[in-house]
Structure 1
């Protein structure tokens, strides 16, 4: 674009998913890293015309992050039956809550 430079992807430690981590926060990648970064990006973008709708949109993003992290756990080498049961319970509950929040948003247009 005429004279404008496109932002470049940062490299090096402290960078994940295109977002810069605060100084001193070199975070190790885990099976949950992508889900965490996606959730945080989505929560930052989830805004609306009023506080109630903004809250609902941010909670949807938060719950989707929880579902993604639980799915990552279930897709990992985790073998503890109790933790796998809890992960599945998170998926079930958060999926229901996402549907409830989306329904509320539909019934309360901005």
Structure 2
């Protein structure tokens, strides 16, 4: 009786194994996915890769990069402005929340 239930449990797991194997089959047979996978892996290993491939950049790392690009030490407020304003217009915040937060901390009124 114990063997019957054990073999029955193993039979119940077969559909789960098939479900687990399905993505691997897709990853290994789909040419588009293979191409993207290999491109991404190459880009991650590249020394000249984009600075954003490793995930989110911390505020302090952004501050250091901004300081280097401006050739002077920057404040956290300047870093916030750099990361929360539009690229094409550095006087406009990306949204109400960023403008409200900056205004509340610096007591300056900015329009977004």
TM-score by length of 2: 0.30
Higher RCO (CA-CA < 8 Å; seq separation 6+): 1
| Greater helix share, structure number | 2
Say which one has the larger Rg: 2
